[in-house]
Amino acid sequence: MATLLLASISLAATLTHLAQLVSARACLQDTHALAAFKDTIWEDPRRRTRDWRPLSNISATDADLEGEDGCRWRGIACTRRTYEVPGNPFPCQRVLEIEMGGMYCPQNMFLPEAMQETSGRGCIRSDVSGWLVPELGNLTFVKKFHLSDNNLNGTLPPELGRLEYLEEFDIEYSKITGTIPEEYGGMTRVKEFDFEGLQLTGTIPKSFSQLQYLEELEFDGNRLTGCIPELSPTIQSLELEGNDLSGPCSAVGSGEGADADSNAGFFFGDEDDLYGGYDSWGGDGWE
């Protein structure tokens, strides 16, 4: 009898533990941010966000938001463990990645991944139409935004500057306009900005000098002007062609062909355009 009682107590404990694991879900602020983004999406031909619930379709009370779990939505990856988050009524998971872009290449499916990306033949863009909302700045644990090859319009929300764990921000080949917010210097762990082929104007923020882990800055094919701030020596790839940049801000003297600040890993090209990066010497893929 006693044994049976003990056994059922430990079974109950195990079930409670399991129930906690199964019921773990995204923090309300994270689901809210994703739902606010989903609200802007008016076309999604590849159904990348087909199971995301738009905020306008969730009534404003927390009780309704609690019924949703952004961590189970397509293309979202979350932390395994849960966190006590102020204002959240239950321990919850944080969003780590949004995977909602890139090229799908049915003909190249059997090629190595790197080759799939470079040979664009037979590839289909992700083509989600919508825009980035300020609420995405509430995904404060996020490490990766992979949103390339979409039709995102609007501007870059300054609120994303709060994403201090963001490492990869890839939104290349969209229709985003406006300037790069100075606040993005607050993304202290960022390694990659892939902003190629947008319609950005204005200057590269001075605050980018603070980004000490920066490895890749791809800003080619925009309409950026002004000078280039000194960048971390960790930089490996700097692509700035097709803009109207004047050269390094800190350069002493100027002129075509002048060797720019070598610490920053860039140099002048033949045209007014700048290109370079330590890896590019003798490498391929450079014009």
Ligand X SMILES: *[C@@H]1O[C@H](CO)[C@@H](O)[C@H](O)[C@H]1NC(C)=O
131 binds ligand X (CB under 6 A): yes
Q: Determine the straight-line distance between the first and last CA of the chain, rounded to whole angstroms.
A: 81
Contact between 159 and ligand X per CB under 6 A: yes
Tokens 């590839």 label which residue? 123
Residue closer to ligand X (CB basis): 156 or 190: 156
32 is an interface residue for ligand X by CB under 6 A:
yes
Cβ-based nearer residue to ligand X, 174 or 280: 174
* Least distance in angstroms from the C-beta of 88 to ligand X: 9
Distance CA 183, CA 163 (A): 10
Considering the complex, state which of residue 52 and residue 193 has its C-beta at the smaller distance from ligand X.
Answer: 52
Continuous segment of H or E residues that includes residue 9: helix 2-23
Query: Closest CB to ligand X among 137 and 248?
Result: 137
From candidates 66, 91, 99, 154, binder to ligand X by CB under 6 A? 154
Nearer of residues 37 and 169 to ligand X, judged by Cβ: 37
29 binds ligand X (CB under 6 A): yes
CA 115 to chain centre: 22
Residue 283 has which token pair?
């490498």
What is the nearest approach in angstroms of ligand X to the Cβ of residue 130? Answer: 8
User: Using CB under 6 A, which of 137, 205, 248, 277 touches ligand X?
Assistant: 137
**Minimum separation from the CB atom of position 24 to ligand X (A):** 19
The answer to the question of residue 127 lying near ligand X (CB under 6 A) is: no
Q: Indicate the SS3 state at residue 101.
A: coil
54 touches ligand X (CB under 6 A): yes
Report the residue number whose CB is nearest to ligand X. 154
**Does residue 158 interact with ligand X by CB under 6 A?**
no
Among residues 158 and 226, whose Cβ is nearest to ligand X?
158
Q: Contacts for 218-227 with beta carbons within 8 Å, 24 or more apart?
A: 218/172, 218/192, 218/193, 218/194, 219/193, 219/195, 219/243, 220/196, 220/275, 221/196, 221/197, 222/195, 222/196, 222/197, 222/198, 223/199, 224/180, 224/200, 225/201, 226/202, 227/203, 227/251
Under the binding rule (CB under 6 A), the answer on residue 30 touching ligand X is no
Question: What is the C-alpha to C-alpha distance for residues 85 and 270, in angstroms, rounded to an integer?
Answer: 53
**What is the CB neighbour count within 10 angstroms for residue 157?**
18
Amino acid at 15: L
Task: Note whether 179 binds ligand X by CB under 6 A.
Answer: no
CA distance 101 to 198: 15
Of these, 45, 67, 89, 134, which contacts ligand X (CB under 6 A)? Answer: 134
Q: How far is the CB of 135 from ligand X (least distance, A)?
A: 4
**89: contact with ligand X by CB under 6 A:** no
- What gap in Å lies between CA 178 and CA 172, rounded to an integer? 14
Q: Which residue, 53 or 146, has its beta carbon nearer to ligand X?
A: 53
Retrieve residue 32's tokens.
């809210």
**Interface with ligand X by CB under 6 A: which residues?**
29, 32, 53-54, 57, 131, 134-135, 137-138, 153-154, 159
